[in-house]
Structure 1
Amino acid sequence: MDAAAALVVDGKLVSAAEQERFTRNKHTGQFPIDAIQFCLRDSGISINEVDEIAHGFDYSPYRELYQRDEISRELYQDVFSRDALLAQVRRDLPGFPDNKVFNVNHHLAHAASAAYTSGWDECLVVVNDAMGETESLSVYDFHDGELEKLHTVSANDSIGILYSLITLHLGFDFNSDEYKIMGLAPYGNRRRFRPFFEQVVELREDGSIRIPILKLNQSREERESYLGTRLWLDEHLIKRRLQNHSVNSNHEDVAAGLQECLERVVMHVCEHFGKQTGLRRLALAGGVALNCTANGKLFYSRLFDEVYVQPVAGDDGVALGAALYRTSLAKSIPNHRFPTPLFGPKYDNAEIESALGGFDGKIQWRHFGSLEATCGAASKLIADGRVIAWYRGRMEYGPRALGNRSILADPRRPEMRDRINAMVKKRESFRPFAPACSVEEAHLWFDVAPRTELPYMISVVDVRPEVRAQLPAITHVNGSARLQTVSVDDNPDFHALLLAVGETTGRQMVLNTSFNVKGQPIVNTPTEAIETFLGTGIEHLFMENYHVTRSAA
Structure 2
Amino acid sequence: MNILGISGFENSMPFKRAHWPSLDEREYRISQGHDSAAALVVDGQVVAAAAEERFNREKHSPRFPVRAIEYCLAEAGLALADVDELAHGFDYEPYRPLFSLDPVASELYREVYSREALLRLVERDLKGFPADRFHHVGHHQAHAASAYFTSGFDECLVVVIDGMGEVVSATVYRASAGGLEKLHEISAAHSIGILYSLVTLHLGFEFGADEYKIMGLAPYGDPERFRSFFEHAIDLRPNGSIRIPPLTLNESREERENQLVTRRYLAEHLGPPRMPDDPITDDHRDVAAALQAGLDRAMEHLCGHFRRQTGLRKLAMAGGVALNCTANGKLLRSGLFDDIYVQPAAGDDGSALGAALHRASLHHKDLPNRRFPVPFLGPAHSHDAIESAISGAADRIEVERFDGLEAACERAADLIRDGRVLAWYRGRMEFGPRALGHRSILADPGHPEMRGRINSMVKMREAFRPFAPAVTIEQVHRWFEVPPMTELPYMIITVDVRQEHRAQLPAVTHVNGSARVQTVSSGDNASFHTLLRAVGRTTGREMVLNTSFNVKGQPIVNTPAEALETFLRTGIDFLFLENTLISRSR
Task: Give the TM-score band, short-chain normalised.
Answer: over 0.9
232-241 vs 334-343, greater mean Cα deviation: 232-241
Aligned to 1:378: 412
Aligned to 2:549: 515
1:129 aligned onto 2:165: no
1:120 to 148, 153, 167: 153
Counterpart mapping for 1:154-165 below 5 A: 154-165=187-198
Q: Distance in 2 between matches of 1:456 and 1:284?
A: 13
User: In the TM superposition, what is the alpha-carbon distance from 1:349 to its structure 2 partner?
Assistant: 1.2
Aligned to 1:20: 53
41-50 vs 68-77, greater mean Cα deviation: 68-77
CA contact (8 A) 1:128 1:137 kept: yes
User: In the TM superposition, what is the alpha-carbon distance from 1:242 to its structure 2 partner?
Assistant: 1.8
| 1:198-230 deviation line (CA, Å, top 9, x unaligned) | 111111111101111101112221111100001
| SS at 2:400 equivalent | strand
1:489 aligned onto 2:501: no
Q: Distance in 2 between matches of 1:68 and 1:157?
A: 21
CA contact (8 A) 2:142 2:358 kept: yes
1:469 aligned onto 2:503: yes
| SS at 1:361 equivalent | helix
CA contact (8 A) 1:455 1:490 kept: no
User: In the TM superposition, what is the alpha-carbon distance from 1:237 to its structure 2 partner?
Assistant: 2.2
Q: Distance in 2 between matches of 1:244 and 1:544?
A: 38
Letter of the structure 2 residue corresponding to residue 102 of structure 1: H
Letter of the structure 1 residue corresponding to residue 303 of structure 2: C
Scaled by the length of structure 2, what TM-score is found?
0.94
| 1:69-112 deviation line (CA, Å, top 9, x unaligned) | 32222111110000011111111111111000000000000000
| SS at 2:395 equivalent | coil
1:57 aligned onto 2:112: no
CA contact (8 A) 2:493 2:516 kept: yes
Q: Distance in 2 between matches of 1:297 and 1:275?
A: 17
Aligned to 1:317: 350
1:349 aligned onto 2:383: yes
Letter of the structure 2 residue corresponding to residue 378 of structure 1: A
CA contact (8 A) 1:171 1:242 kept: yes
Letter of the structure 2 residue corresponding to residue 42 of structure 1: E
Aligned to 2:15: none
Aligned to 1:188: 221
Scaled by the length of structure 1, what TM-score is found?
0.99
User: In the TM superposition, what is the alpha-carbon distance from 1:490 to its structure 2 partner?
Assistant: 2.1
User: In the TM superposition, what is the alpha-carbon distance from 1:173 to its structure 2 partner?
Assistant: 1.0
Q: Give unpaired runs (5+ residues) of structure 1.
A: none
1:243 aligned onto 2:243: no
1:304 to 337, 340, 365: 337
1:414 to 414, 431, 448: 448
Counterpart mapping for 1:130-279 below 5 A: 130-279=163-312
Aligned to 1:291: 324
Q: Distance in 1 between matches of 2:569 and 2:527?
A: 26
Counterpart mapping for 1:421-440 below 5 A: 421-440=455-474
Counterpart mapping for 1:72-91 below 5 A: 72-91=105-124
Q: Distance in 1 between matches of 2:107 and 2:128?
A: 26
Q: Distance in 2 between matches of 1:360 and 1:509?
A: 32
User: In the TM superposition, what is the alpha-carbon distance from 1:360 to its structure 2 partner?
Assistant: 2.0
Q: Distance in 1 between matches of 2:432 and 2:49?
A: 9
CA contact (8 A) 1:407 1:515 kept: yes
CA contact (8 A) 1:344 1:396 kept: yes
| SS at 2:278 equivalent | coil
Q: Distance in 1 between matches of 2:537 and 2:195?
A: 47
| 1:384-440 deviation line (CA, Å, top 9, x unaligned) | 000000001000000000000000000000000111112211111111000000000
User: In the TM superposition, what is the alpha-carbon distance from 1:364 to its structure 2 partner?
Assistant: 1.5
Letter of the structure 2 residue corresponding to residue 431 of structure 1: R
User: In the TM superposition, what is the alpha-carbon distance from 1:128 to its structure 2 partner?
Assistant: 0.3
Q: Distance in 2 between matches of 1:517 and 1:19?
A: 18
CA contact (8 A) 2:386 2:560 kept: yes
User: In the TM superposition, what is the alpha-carbon distance from 1:66 to its structure 2 partner?
Assistant: 1.1
User: In the TM superposition, what is the alpha-carbon distance from 1:235 to its structure 2 partner?
Assistant: 1.2
CA contact (8 A) 2:172 2:183 kept: yes
Q: Give unpaired runs (5+ residues) of structure 2.
A: 1-33
Q: Distance in 2 between matches of 1:371 and 1:244?
A: 44
Q: Distance in 2 between matches of 1:182 and 1:369?
A: 42
Letter of the structure 2 residue corresponding to residue 497 of structure 1: L
| SS at 2:317 equivalent | strand
Q: Distance in 1 between matches of 2:104 and 2:243?
A: 29
1:393 aligned onto 2:408: no
| SS at 1:459 equivalent | coil
Q: Distance in 2 between matches of 1:49 and 1:395?
A: 24
| 1:469-521 deviation line (CA, Å, top 9, x unaligned) | 00000000000000000000121000000000000000000000000010000
User: In the TM superposition, what is the alpha-carbon distance from 1:244 to its structure 2 partner?
Assistant: 2.0
CA contact (8 A) 2:161 2:320 kept: yes
Q: Distance in 1 between matches of 2:345 and 2:506?
A: 29
| SS at 1:341 equivalent | coil
Q: Distance in 1 between matches of 2:321 and 2:104?
A: 30
RMSD of aligned residue pairs (Cα, Å):
0.7
1:449 aligned onto 2:483: yes
Q: Distance in 1 between matches of 2:449 and 2:44?
A: 47
Q: Distance in 2 between matches of 1:24 and 1:233?
A: 34
Aligned to 1:363: 397
| SS at 2:583 equivalent | strand
